[in-house]
Structure 1
Amino acid sequence: MLGRRRAGRRRGRGRRRRSNVVRATILSVVLVPICLVWIYPFIWMVSASLKTNAEVFSGLGLFTDVVRLDNYVRAWNEANVGRYFFNSVFVTVFSVLIAVTATSMIGYVLGRYRFRGKKVIIGIFAAAIFLPEGYTIIPVFDLISKLGLTGSLWGVTLAEAGGAHVVIILLFAGFFAQLPGELEEAARIDGAGFLRIFASVYLPLAKPVIATAVILQFMHSWNDFLLPLVLTLSQPDLRTLAVGIYAFKGEHLTDWSGMAAASTIALLPIILLFFFLQRYFVESVAGAMKG
């Protein structure tokens, strides 16, 4: 009798394994073509960065007889991409620091404290998602001008860091709300105040959300075009990489291979950052879905 039960269990496990294998195979067959279609434009961009302008329009093929690395040299030196790259790094790094600090503290208050008007504030944050960025250009430009920062990278940095980071705030709020209150009570018994409890107790536990916030803010600041364009119209040396790439398009001629090379350079930091922080990003999204 016992042998029959064991044999039945083994057959059940075998059927489940075969079912999982079949399911994984079907899923791979469906997703692999979708992935290839999705990544093809990126691969084509890298391929175009190694061709001449004539070869770029010769077809959609990915291969070329002669690999032209001089496109990257021309983009970096002659098109001033090196300077624009430094500007983008400066603006992105400091805007990430400012935005993550501000959103984590706002999320901490919304997640851990109860007060009047809390739902109204959350509603205002949610409504801000639907506000087009173009509508905020004039007040942002006016504010930066009154602060006397129109001629510096700090003005662009503050403008990039001051957007409505509603998704990040809600991620922090949801994460902090799930943590046990005993941590705060123990810290208060030890004499810790608001900032110390936040910085020493709760914030170190929010690594997945911090990684997600860094990725989202990094992508926003690094890829933003409209706001840096408006703030740097009178000073081309302050352009970020996204704005600088647009300079490859002339009135009568466009350097497509140089633009592809510059775009590839601009894409690399985002890819490297995501690969470095992807584990935390997945954990944060999974935690938000469970919450």
Structure 2
Amino acid sequence: MNQQAIGTGRRLSNVSARILAGLFLLVVTLLTVFPLAMMLAGSLKSNAELMGSTSLLPQSWQFSNYAEAWRQTSFARFTWNSVFVSVVSTVGTLLVAAMAAYVTDRRDFPGKRLYVAIQASTLFITVGAVVLRPQYDLMVKLQLHTSLWGVILILISAHASTYFILTGFFKSIPRELDEAAMIDGSGFIRTFYRVILPLLAPGLGVAGLFAFRHGWNEYILPLVFTMTSPKLQTLTVGLANLRYGSSAAMQTHLMLAGACLSILPMLLVYTLANRTFMQMTAGSLKG
């Protein structure tokens, strides 16, 4: 009887734990989806209804908000600028971080621990807008302060999180592969590009997704570097211009419509990277 009681208690405990876990996931899902639902519903309302109505669903569906948001912000141009900044900065970040992670994982050199410590410190210590002035002054000396290349270089330099993600993946790649390649006459750099880098594809996919999201959502840097060149503004900066119309009235409905359009590329990237996440999860469970 005691054993039966213990077994029954364990089953009840497992059921309770599953119920609590399910409720927790349900709450998290609702907290995540509800703001998106409010944004989508608000983008289909008129500005007057959005400001005065308390209902979630619009009384009259204003699909014209999307066309107006596209027209007022030069949406196509700003989208191209955002894609350019995000893609180039992502490729540069992956290349720099992958090379740094490979060297620190496979080689010993003076100052290695200090280098890793500096990389780690940038994850926990942030000075925010304080560094904008020296960054801008540096780009002025490089004559990149009037182009998006200055923004891209600064985004690539902030690669610490990508570095540590890839370092974890490098540790899962056997060192015997490097040794075998070098025995066959392959040098250190060639081994990295021809042997190791293809095996790093899942890690590059995961790290690239975060790097792309960072570049896509960046606001302060493009704002500072495009003040004198409005045609170079990214989508995040262009959407802020929708806040006030020609009559100085707030256009919240257009801002919401533009925000809905701006998340479509990120949803596409997440969809394409879904297989990479599945590979990473399967690999971690297998390990």
TM-score (norm 2): 0.87
In 2, the alpha carbon distance for the partners of 1:237 and 1:228 equals: 11
Where does residue 155 of structure 1 map in the other structure?
A: 150
> Which of 142, 154, 162 is residue 137 of structure 2 equivalent to?
142
In 2, the alpha carbon distance for the partners of 1:285 and 1:115 equals: 33
Where does residue 128 of structure 2 map in the other structure?
A: 133
What is the aligned-residue RMSD (CA, Å)? 2.7
Aligned 1:157-176 pairs, distance under 5 A: 157-163=152-158, 165-176=159-170
Structure 1 contact 96–214 (Cα < 8 Å) conserved: yes
Q: Rate the CA distance shift 1:213–1:162 in 2: closer, same or farther, 3 A.
A: same
Q: CA deviation at 1:169?
A: 0.4
Q: CA deviation at 1:21?
A: 6.6
Q: CA deviation at 1:270?
A: 1.4
- One-letter amino acid of the structure 2 residue matched with residue 271 of structure 1: L
Consecutive unaligned residues of structure 2, counting only runs of 5 or more, are: 1-6
Q: CA deviation at 1:131?
A: 2.4
Where does residue 38 of structure 2 map in the other structure?
A: 44
Q: CA deviation at 1:23?
A: 4.7
Where does residue 21 of structure 2 map in the other structure?
A: 27
Q: CA deviation at 1:106?
A: 0.6
TM-score (norm 1): 0.86
In 2, the alpha carbon distance for the partners of 1:59 and 1:98 equals: 47
Q: Deviations over 1:190-219 (max 9, x none)?
A: 211122111111111112211121111111
Consecutive unaligned residues of structure 1, counting only runs of 5 or more, are: 1-11
Check if 1:101 corresponds to 2:98.
no
Structure 1 contact 109–173 (Cα < 8 Å) conserved: no
Where does residue 230 of structure 1 map in the other structure?
A: 224
Q: Percent identity?
A: 36
In 2, the alpha carbon distance for the partners of 1:95 and 1:261 equals: 27
Where does residue 253 of structure 2 map in the other structure?
A: 257
**SS of equivalent residue, structure 1 residue 248:** coil
In 2, the alpha carbon distance for the partners of 1:182 and 1:34 equals: 43
Where does residue 58 of structure 2 map in the other structure?
A: 64
Structure 1 contact 144–159 (Cα < 8 Å) conserved: no
State the aligned residue count: 278
Check if 1:268 corresponds to 2:272.
no
Q: Rate the CA distance shift 1:270–1:258 in 2: closer, same or farther, 3 A.
A: same
**SS of equivalent residue, structure 1 residue 56:** helix
Structure 1 contact 171–288 (Cα < 8 Å) conserved: no
Q: Deviations over 1:98-127 (max 9, x none)?
A: 111111111111111122211110111112
- One-letter amino acid of the structure 2 residue matched with residue 275 of structure 1: T
Aligned 1:180-195 pairs, distance under 5 A: 180-195=174-189
Q: Rate the CA distance shift 1:237–1:48 in 2: closer, same or farther, 3 A.
A: same
Q: CA deviation at 1:22?
A: 6.3
Q: CA deviation at 1:153?
A: 2.6
Q: Rate the CA distance shift 1:133–1:287 in 2: closer, same or farther, 3 A.
A: farther
Q: Deviations over 1:172-199 (max 9, x none)?
A: 1222123211100111112111221111
